[in-house]
Amino acid sequence: MAIAQRALAPPVPAPPPEPRDRRAQRALHEQGERHDPRDPLGLRSRARRGILVLAALSIFLVLSLLLCVGIGPVPLSPATTVQVISDHLGLPVTGGAAAPAADAIVWSVRVPRVLMGAAVGACLAISGAALQAMVRNMLADPYILGVSGGASTGAAAAILFGIGAALGEYAQSLLAFLGALGAALLVFVIARSGGRVTSLRLLLSGVAVGYALTAVTNLLIFSSDSAEGSRSVMFWMLGSLSLARWNAFLLIAVLAAIAGTVLMLAGARVLDALSAGDEIAHGLGISPDRARIGFLLLVSLCTAAAVAGAGAIGFVGLVLPHLARRLVGARHRVLIPASALLGALFLLWADAFARIVMQPQELPIGVITAAIGAPFLLLLVRRLHARRG
């Protein structure tokens, strides 16, 4: 009788499948409990992994700086690079003095170029990481604040119409820097006019100001009678490190990369709270509006320094923070330095490729970053669609 009742009873429905992310988290949790009972959540293992990744990236960056100096139309060996740099820094290195031509190529042209590339890449990457936390949008990048549009307008005015000609070789970079800061200030004023500086207002204000300034830049190009000047503006808008020299803008870019990384590390806890939501930030005693204003100023300064030194180089601030999250996780205490190192590495090798791929001409570096970043963006969109589905 009992057997017949069990046969006639309706089958018990199977439990719904766990979401993929929850299954992965549970597997990691169980793996941590099996391997280290003292660290059930895997916090210590993630911290050790983050330290190892940062150490490996730092070593690779130092090697890349030496190797990229030797890459170009005139290839130079790492030994020659080390010899020239050591001579100028006064370091004792065995071997004879380098040839005058090699000395001029390494110290006057390529060393400033690789330093500018590393600094610009770091500035854009940390700015992208901070901005994505501020606005809680993983598709945000530094140029969404309109900074690129303002810098392009300033550079176009200097190149096409000679504004600031009394400044000599500094005119283009200085006007680009001032245009970038002016655009950031305009975005802040528009976003603040409605009261609170929310994520949505920052995004909409940045997009509006960026489009408006791009239209002004295109109008300046159309109004100019100089074909060569228009070509120079377009080349600058695609990004290039060819203007890097031992000047004030190289120093500004390097200081912006170092100071920006340090300040964002100091505010890593605030960035973590902003990325979790305004309610979480309020619960931790953090004012989201004040935090966004402070980080907006810092991101604008870093981006302005990068754009003034190398033009508008896209996709670095969008792509590299996501790659850093895959390597070290989402905690900004580790994410910020990882983003800085990855951004510097990426731009160094992209510029090295730009110097040799179309010799004797030089390919704009923005073309290479876009060619790499666009497929990555498509993969990211596909992943988001699969996760929501």
For the chain, give every domain's residue range. Answer: 137-373
Which residues make Cβ contacts (< 8 Å) with residue 364, sequence separation at least 6? 235, 238, 239, 240, 354
Give the pLDDT band (50/70/90) at residue 15. Answer: low
Q: Is 302 exposed, middle or buried (0-12, 13-18, 19+ CB in 10 A)?
A: buried
- CA count, 13 A, side-chain hemisphere, 313: 41
Range among 56-60, 270-274, 362-366 with highest mean pLDDT value:
56-60
Q: Which two tokens stand for residue 378?
A: 């498509």
The counts of H helices and E strands in the chain are 17, 0
Report CA torsion sign: 378, 382, 388, 389.
positive
Does the pLDDT at position 21 exceed 80? no
Give 137-373's CATH code, choosing from 3.40.395.10, 3.40.50.620, 3.20.20.70, 1.10.3470.10: 1.10.3470.10
How large is the average pLDDT for residues 61-85?
Answer: 89
Q: Measured between alpha carbons, how far is residue 3 from residues 8, 12, 14 in Å?
A: 9, 16, 22
* Mean predicted lDDT score pLDDT of the chain: 82
Q: Is the pTM of this model over 0.85?
A: no
Does the pLDDT at position 337 exceed 90? yes
Q: At what angle do helices 268-276 and 288-310 cross, to 10 degrees?
A: 110
Q: Is 278 left (phi over 0), alpha (psi -120 to 50) or beta?
A: alpha
Question: Cα 279–282–283 angle (5° rounding)?
Answer: 85
Does the pLDDT at position 24 exceed 50? no
Q: Measured between alpha carbons, how far is residue 9 from residues 1, 6, 13, 15, 229 in Å?
A: 12, 5, 12, 18, 84
Is 84:102 a contact under the CB 8 Å cutoff? yes
Element at 125 (helix H, strand E): helix 111-135
Give backbone dihedrals phi and psi of 224, rounded to 5 degrees, phi first.
-80, 145
348 three-class SS:
helix
pLDDT at 332: 93
Q: Measure the CA–CA gap between 157 and 199, rounded to whole angstroms.
A: 32
196 three-class SS:
coil
Q: Measure the CA–CA gap between 373 and 370, rounded to whole angstroms.
A: 5
Does the pLDDT at position 283 exceed 90? no
Q: Is 162 left (phi over 0), alpha (psi -120 to 50) or beta?
A: left
Q: Which two tokens stand for residue 366?
A: 């923005």
How large is the average pLDDT for residues 304-328?
Answer: 89
Length of the chain: 389
Is 105:76 a contact under the CB 8 Å cutoff? yes
Element at 292 (helix H, strand E): helix 288-310
160-169, 242-251, 287-296, 328-337 — which is least confidently predicted?
160-169
Q: Measure the CA–CA gap between 268 and 282, rounded to whole angstroms.
A: 16
pLDDT at 170: 76
In this structure, the number of other CB atoms found within 10 A of the CB of residue 20 comes to: 10
Does the pLDDT at position 161 exceed 50? yes
Does the pLDDT at position 30 exceed 50? no
